[in-house]
């Protein structure tokens, strides 16, 4: 449950902004069939959404992909009024998150990667969905 509401949601939700803000690459609507040949530039352009719809897509994706209220592993004092029983588990959880963060950062430095994948960095994952 924790993975689904935090990491999985972050991977799906926050990647939308980074990947889909370029409307011609990821139009949320297409009004004509996609071109079948690379030289059909006008066919491609004719199928794109209007400027107002493209702006709306950008606004929605910006909102969806920019809201971070919390951080995985960091809880308010009111979340666990008696934190004594969970202190050890929470400390271990945070240590594991830091280790995972370091491993992902190291892998993102690899020359085999075309671009870093940062959506599952524990530092970028909220505790749960932010809506």
pLDDT for residue 82 is more than 90: no
**Start-to-end C-alpha separation, the chain:** 17
Secondary structure (DSSP) of 29-70: --SSPPPSSTT-HHHHHHTSPPHHHHHHHHHHHHHHTT----
pTM as predicted: 0.73
pLDDT for residue 131 is more than 80: no
pLDDT for residue 130 is more than 90: no
Domain borders along the chain are 2-124
Q: How high is the pLDDT of residue 97?
A: 96
pLDDT for residue 84 is more than 90: no
Report, in angstroms and rounded to the nearest whole number, the Rg of the chain calculated over CA atoms.
Answer: 20
How far is Cα 63 from Cα 89, in angstroms, rounded to an integer?
34
pLDDT for residue 15 is more than 80: yes
**What are the backbone angles phi and psi of residue 74, rounded to the nearest 5°?**
-115, 115
């Amino acid at each position: 449950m924790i993975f689904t509401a935090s990491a999985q949601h972050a991977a799906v939700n926050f990647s939308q902004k980074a990947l889909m803000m370029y409307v011609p690459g990821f139009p949320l609507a297409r009004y004509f069939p996609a071109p079948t040949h690379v030289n059909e530039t006008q066919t491609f352009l004719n199928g794109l959404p209007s400027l107002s719809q493209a702006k709306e897509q950008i606004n929605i994706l910006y909102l969806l992909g920019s809201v971070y209220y919390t951080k995985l592993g960091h809880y308010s004092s009111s979340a666990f009024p008696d934190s004594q029983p969970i202190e050890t588990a929470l400390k271990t959880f945070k240590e594991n998150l830091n280790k995972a963060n370091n491993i992902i950062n190291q892998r993102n430095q690899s020359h085999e990667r075309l671009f870093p994948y940062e959506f599952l960095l524990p530092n970028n994952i909220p505790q749960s969905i932010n809506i």
